[in-house]
Structures are given as structure tokens and as C-alpha cells.
């Protein structure tokens, strides 16, 4: 049995050139391939910026190089499974080019999400929770975001359809023409974001490839903002190294599955179980921090990701950042945590669902998020649980927060208590996301006595009568708790979306 498990650890449909490295480090070959490709992409990004800059190469050359290298990375990592990603990209392109502009966003959403869901189902029920299969769902999820983002923007741009007061929030610059094949392939399959993303605005990507993103920067900041991206890259690589070290030293010593260990659940007191759950969830975050920060560094190394200058005149390279670590670790509300976690996915969810749903927007957005992540039961436990928690948190904040703003002492005490409550609530909410299965999830909930479910539902019901939630309240909440980078920088040209979950 042990030999079989070891064989599965090094099984992949991708390249096996680095198999000796995987055996030496004791890491699955797919993780070794992923790391190698991201580091290769980082080196290629510097070369791309220096030797294939808009001043040295035509847009066609830049588009072609970025696309071919991205496809090569997919094949190296996933082998023939990369055909799934290429198939949905090509199929969606024909829909975008040939489809009725009034319905193209619906057709692409059904096609991309349907194909993604089919692949998720095969991963769960055919490959036993992904153990026997190289996991190609990550790149497919990113491609799904990009395909649907472009389709919705094309629909909005060509039909001039306005979403009332929310219209201006979707994106300030909408594409007015359907993309050429090479532009479309470059946007979806470029080597900078093909593995981890993030999903960027189509217009931002085209401007970057064609060099037009420089022309919108004021002349007196042009020199300042082009070279310091190396500093931003170095800073993000340092964060990556710290996260990687934390993963090997701490994360591995705090396995998530121990939360549902029968002996631990049966004999450990409640506070011990709660404490271990808290620290094991905290320890699980750095692997996500690592992947998203490295992806951000790769894009920055190529010169993509400049947002603007902050109040002190320093450049902000966070246009497509996917995580704000400080914002997450210091979050004093459930919404603030969400706004700083997987940021670009939140932008996508808001643009394609939250701003367009006529009613039940919060519930529909969380359900779409669960469906996009996969079909593991744990995902649905997490996102469905988040609905009453979000409602209760909104109502509670409106009811009591203003009572603690009178002095610094009260405000500090309020922040400390809400930070602790937020972190424990997040721990409870996302545990099923990592446990995945129904049995493990129910075991964990029982060990916690369903206390967050009970408290959030009671609070939401009790405070609903006093402060009935309104859809308009989202704007103020969004601007007050969005990522700090968005408020500190003067945007050059961004999608300007903020999550409202």
C-alpha cells in the first residue's frame, strides 16, 4: 500500500524529466513541474521585457511569443490534459466571433462553465478526488474567468447596455471590436498567467502587449515607474521565499485532516480543538500566498501590473494582484477578509454575477463561486455557510460599530474583538473547503457544535428586523473595506471593480 501511494505521488500526465528532483525533495512531480515552470516563466518575463519590449518587437511577435510559450508550459505540466484547456479556448473563440452579440456572454458562460464543471466532475468521481490525476483544473478555472470576462465586456461594449447605477463599475474601457485569433489566444494562454492567473482585464492585456499602457502614464512619472518594477518583483520574491519556508517548517506539522481525527475529536476539549483548528487554517494560507504572489511577480517582471502612483509618489505594482496578505491577516470583518483574498476572482464574480443578478445577488454569487471552484461537497458547505455569516456580519456592524468610535481605547478594543471573531469565523467557514468530503465536514461541524451556524443565523434573523439589508448599502461597504492598494494608488487604467460579498 505504501509503495502504491508513493507511485501515485510521482504519477503525472505531464513531463517526467524532473522526476529525480521530485523524489529527492519528496514532492509530487506535478508540484515540481509547476514550480519549475513558474520560475522559468519568471526568467522569461525579464527577457520578454528587455528584448521583446514594444520598442523592439511588433505586437504580433509579442502576442505570438507569449502564446506559444504559454502553450508549451501547459503541455510540459499536463501533457495531453492540456487539450481540455485548448479545446474550451478555441470553442469559445468561435462563439465570440460568430455568436449574436446580444447573447454572446450567455453562450460563453454556459460553454465555459459547463466544460469546467464536467472536468470537475470527472476529477471527483473518476479520479477519486484528484489523487490519481494531474490536476489541470487550475489553469482551466483561470481560462474560464478570462473567456467569460471578455464575452461580458464585448456584450456591454457593443450593445452599450448599462447596468443602471452599477454600469460605471464594471470597467471604464470596454472593447468595441471582437478580438483577432492571436489577440484572443494571447490573452487566454500567455505564459505570464497560464498556470495561476490572475485573470486580468482584456483591454489592459492588449495595451500592455502593444505598449499603449505606457502612453497613459504622465511624462514626469514614466522613468520612475518603469524601473522600480524590479524592486516590486524582488519584494514579492522575498515574500514567496518566506511563505515557502513557512510551508515546509510549519504547515506540514499542522495537517488539516487532524481536525477530524477520531481520537482528537473524542478526547480533546473544545478549546483545544478550536485552537488547533485556528492555527492549522492559519498555517494553510501561505501556500496560496506563495502561488499568487509568485504569479504577480512574474507579471511584474514582464512590465505588466502597474496601477499608478500612491500619495507619496511611489509606484504601485498591484493592478492584477490576487492577494493582500496584510489586509487578510489584520481583517476585522468577514467582508474585509474576502475583499483581500483571491481579489481578481472577486472582481470577476462581481462583474458577471453580483452586478447583474436582479435579486438574491449574494446567494447567487456565492453559489457561482462554489461551482467555479469545483464539485467537492466541502466547497458548497463553505460558500453556503458564508451567506448567513455575511448577512449577520453586515447587520451586526451597522448595529454596534458606531458605539465604539468615540475614543481610541474603545475603537482599539472593538478592533481586537472583531479581529478575533473574524479569524475564528473564517477558520470555521473555510475548514470544509480544505476537508472536501461530506463525512469530514460533518465530523468537524459536530466537534464545533455548529456554533457559528447557530450564532450567525440567530444574529441575521434578530437584526434583520432592525436593519433591513439593502442592495444600495454595498457601495459604501465596498469602498470602506476594499484592498488598501486600491485606495492608496491613483489608477492609471484599471477595471475598477470591487467585490461586494
Q: What tens digit of pLDDT does each residue of 360-391 get? A: 999 999 999 999 999 999 999 999 999 999 99
Lowest mean pLDDT: which of 7-16, 84-93, 289-298, 468-477? 468-477
pLDDT of residue 231: 87
DSSP 8-state code for residue 252: G
Output Rg (C-alpha) for the chain, integer angstroms.
23
Give the residue-averaged pLDDT of 151-169.
66
DSSP letter for each residue of 324-355: -HHHHHT--SHHHHHHTBSHHHHHHHIIIIIT
Q: How many helices (H) and strands (E) does the chain have?
A: 24, 3
**Residue 462: which pLDDT band, with cuts at 50, 70 and 90?**
confident
pLDDT of 497 over the 80 cut: no
Using one digit for the tens of pLDDT, what is the confidence trace for 414-440? 999 999 999 999 999 999 999 999 999
The torsion angles phi and psi of 405, rounded to 5 degrees, stand at -100, 5
CB-based burial label for 84 (10 Å; 0-12, 13-18, 19+) = buried
Q: How far apart are CA 395 and CA 392, in angstroms?
A: 5
| SS3 at position 492 | coil
Given a contact cutoff of 8 angstroms between Cβ atoms, the answer to whether 53 and 66 are in contact is no
Q: How far apart are CA 90 and CA 83, in angstroms?
A: 10
Give the residue-averaged pLDDT of 14-20.
86
**Residue 316: which pLDDT band, with cuts at 50, 70 and 90?**
confident
Q: How far apart are CA 61 and CA 56, in angstroms?
A: 10
Lowest mean pLDDT: which of 68-72, 172-176, 235-239? 172-176
Sheet with 315-316, strands from edge to edge, namely: 315-316, 308-310, 489-491
pLDDT of 480 over the 50 cut: no
Q: How far is CA 238 from the centre of its chain?
A: 21
Q: What rounded mean pLDDT belongs to the chain?
A: 84
Given a contact cutoff of 8 angstroms between Cβ atoms, the answer to whether 29 and 22 are in contact is yes
Lowest mean pLDDT: which of 35-39, 184-188, 480-484? 480-484
Give rounded-to-5 percent helix, strand, coil for the chain: 70, 0, 25
Select from 485, 383, 482, 489 the least CA-distant residue to 169: 482
pLDDT of residue 402: 85
Q: Which grid coordinates are listed for 241?
A: 521565499
pLDDT of 217 over the 60 cut: no
DSSP 8-state code for residue 166: G
How would you write 375-442 as a 3-class SS string? Answer: CCHHHHHHHHHHHHHHHHHHHHHHHHHHHHCCCHHHHHHHHHHHHHHHHHHHHHHHHHHHHCCHHHHH
DSSP 8-state code for residue 489: E
Using one digit for the tens of pLDDT, what is the confidence trace for 46-55? 999 999 999 8
pLDDT of residue 33: 92
| SS3 at position 341 | strand
pLDDT of residue 290: 96
pLDDT of 476 over the 70 cut: no
pLDDT of 467 over the 80 cut: no
pLDDT of 271 over the 80 cut: yes
Higher pLDDT, 48 or 501: 48
pLDDT of 447 over the 70 cut: yes
Q: How far apart are CA 19 and CA 12, in angstroms?
A: 10
**Residue 474: which pLDDT band, with cuts at 50, 70 and 90?**
very low
Q: How far apart are CA 358 and CA 361, in angstroms?
A: 7
Lowest mean pLDDT: which of 300-314, 334-348, 351-365, 442-456? 300-314
The CA-atom distances, in angstroms, between 219 and each of 97, 222, 493, 496 are: 38, 5, 16, 23
Give the residue-averaged pLDDT of 338-347.
94
pLDDT of 315 over the 60 cut: yes
Q: List residues bridging with 489 in a β-sheet.
A: 310
pLDDT of residue 77: 93
**Residue 212: which pLDDT band, with cuts at 50, 70 and 90?**
confident
Q: Active-site positions?
A: 342, 373
| SS3 at position 490 | strand
pLDDT of residue 123: 75
Cβ atoms within 10 A of the Cβ of 239, count?
Answer: 19
Using one digit for the tens of pLDDT, what is the confidence trace for 353-366? 999 999 899 999 99
Give percent of the chain with pLDDT exceeding 90: 63
Using one digit for the tens of pLDDT, what is the confidence trace for 102-153? 899 999 999 999 999 999 988 777 665 544 445 788 999 999 999 999 999 9
Given a contact cutoff of 8 angstroms between Cβ atoms, the answer to whether 427 and 275 are in contact is no
Burial code (b: 16+ CB inside 10 Å, e: under 16) for 165-175 equals: ebeebbbebbb
Higher pLDDT, 195 or 168: 195
**Residue 211: which pLDDT band, with cuts at 50, 70 and 90?**
confident
Q: How far apart are CA 490 and CA 483, in angstroms?
A: 13
Amino acid at each position: 500500500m505504501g509503495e502504491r501511494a508513493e507511485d501515485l505521488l510521482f504519477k503525472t500526465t505531464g513531463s517526467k524529466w524532473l522526476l529525480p528532483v521530485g523524489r529527492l525533495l519528496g514532492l509530487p512531480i506535478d508540484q515540481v513541474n509547476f514550480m519549475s515552470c513558474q520560475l522559468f516563466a519568471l526568467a522569461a518575463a525579464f527577457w520578454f521585457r528587455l528584448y521583446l519590449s514594444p520598442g523592439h518587437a511588433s505586437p504580433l511577435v509579442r502576442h505570438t511569443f507569449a502564446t506559444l510559450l504559454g502553450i508549451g508550459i501547459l503541455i510540459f505540466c499536463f501533457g495531453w490534459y492540456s487539450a481540455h484547456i485548448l479545446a474550451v479556448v478555441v470553442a469559445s473563440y468561435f462563439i465570440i466571433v460568430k455568436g449574436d452579440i446580444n447573447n454572446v456572454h450567455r453562450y460563453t458562460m454556459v460553454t465555459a462553465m459547463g466544460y469546467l464543471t464536467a472536468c470537475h466532475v470527472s476529477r471527483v468521481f473518476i479520479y477519486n478526488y484528484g489523487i490519481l490525476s494531474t490536476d489541470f483544473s487550475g489553469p482551466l478555472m483561470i481560462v474560464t474567468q478570462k473567456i467569460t470576462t471578455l464575452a461580458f465586456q464585448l456584450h456591454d461594449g457593443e450593445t452599450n447596455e448599462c447596468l443602471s447605477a452599477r454600469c460605471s463599475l464594471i470597467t471604464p474601457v470596454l472593447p468595441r471590436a471582437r478580438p483577432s485569433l492571436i489577440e484572443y489566444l494571447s490573452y487566454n494562454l500567455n505564459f505570464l498567467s497560464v498556470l495561476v492567473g490572475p485573470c486580468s482585464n482584456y483591454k489592459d492585456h492588449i495595451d500592455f502587449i502593444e505598449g499603449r499602457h505606457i502612453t497613459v502614464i504622465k511624462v514626469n512619472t514614466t522613468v520612475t515607474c518603469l524601473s522600480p518594477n524590479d524592486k516590486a518583483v524582488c519584494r514579492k520574491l522575498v515574500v514567496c521565499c518566506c511563505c515557502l519556508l513557512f510551508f515546509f517548517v510549519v504547515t506540514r506539522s499542522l495537517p488539516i485532516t487532524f481536525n477530524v481525527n477520531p481520537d482528537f475529536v473524542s478526547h480533546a476539549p473544545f478549546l483545544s480543538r478550536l485552537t488547533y483548528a485556528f492555527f492549522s487554517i492559519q498555517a494553510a494560507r501561505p501556500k496560496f500566498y506563495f502561488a499568487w504572489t509568485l504569479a504577480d511577480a512574474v507579471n511584474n517582471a514582464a512590465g505588466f501590473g502597474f496601477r499608478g502612483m500612491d500619495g507619496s509618489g511611489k509606484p504601485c505594482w498591484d493592478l492584477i494582484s490576487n492577494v493582500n496578505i496584510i489586509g487578510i491577516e489584520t481583517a476585522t470583518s468577514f467582508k474585509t477578509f474576502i475583499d483581500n483574498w483571491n481579489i481578481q476572482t472577486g472582481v470577476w464574480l462581481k462583474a458577471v454575477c453580483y452586478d447583474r443578478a436582479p435579486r438574491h445577488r449574494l446567494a447567487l454569487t456565492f453559489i457561482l463561486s462554489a461551482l467555479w471552484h469545483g464539485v467537492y461537497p466541502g466547497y458548497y458547505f463553505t460558500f453556503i455557510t458564508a451567506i448567513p455569516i455575511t448577512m449577520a456580519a453586515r447587520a451586526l456592524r451597522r448595529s454596534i460599530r458606531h458605539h465604539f468610535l468615540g475614543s481610541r481605547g474603545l475603537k482599539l478594543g472593538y478592533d481586537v474583538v472583531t479581529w478575533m471573531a473574524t479569524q475564528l469565523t473564517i477558520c470555521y467557514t473555510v475548514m470544509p473547503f480544505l476537508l472536501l468530503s461530506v463525512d469530514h465536514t460533518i465530523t468537524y461541524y459536530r466537534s464545533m457544535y455548529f456554533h457559528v451556524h447557530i450564532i450567525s443565523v440567530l444574529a441575521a434573523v434578530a437584526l434583520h428586523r432592525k436593519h433591513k439589508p439593502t442592495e444600495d448599502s454595498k457601495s459604501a461597504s465596498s469602498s470602506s473595506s476594499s484592498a488598501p492598494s486600491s485606495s492608496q494608488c491613483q489608477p492609471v487604467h484599471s477595471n475598477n471593480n470591487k467585490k461586494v460579498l
